[in-house]
Structure 1
């Protein structure tokens, strides 16, 4: 069983692939994520912000908005889905 790169929960039926270094910035490596985790990353940080300092999973998890999300999602089932809010 593979775990989500961001939240570390087991993956469900739907898996999305994320470039820790955005593809637009030359990234080639991909990591598996839940769709809701993937959407949260991109709703919270721009590609420029990801490239500048949030390529590392531990650093990304430490971001205040991502940390709040991780606390909320921790007890949800692998295929849980909810609308993702974009940052303002």
Structure 2
């Protein structure tokens, strides 16, 4: 949950993954899902991203396209 919504827990997330989360989900949607990785993995656009990024090295960085 974002700090703007009263969240206190900080979870380290790779920058490319963090950008992808916000491209595919709003802060409200992320707050509803909470800290539940299996629920994140089944989100349509995010699941596609996770399959794509799974074989990339840990220091991989690429631009993230936003929804139009």
| TM-score normalized by the length of structure 2 | 0.88
CA distance, structure 1, for counterparts of residue 24 and residue 47 of structure 2: 11
CA distance, structure 1, for counterparts of residue 23 and residue 4 of structure 2: 17
Q: How many residues align?
A: 67
| TM-score normalized by the length of structure 1 | 0.70
Q: Which has the higher helix share?
A: 2
Task: Say whether residues 1:57 and 2:13 are aligned partners.
Answer: no
| Alpha-carbon RMSD | 1.0
Task: Say whether residues 1:31 and 2:1 are aligned partners.
Answer: no
Structure 1 spans left out of the alignment, 5+ residues:
1-20
Structure 2 spans left out of the alignment, 5+ residues:
none
Moved over 4 A (4+): none
Indicate the SS of the match to 1:33: coil
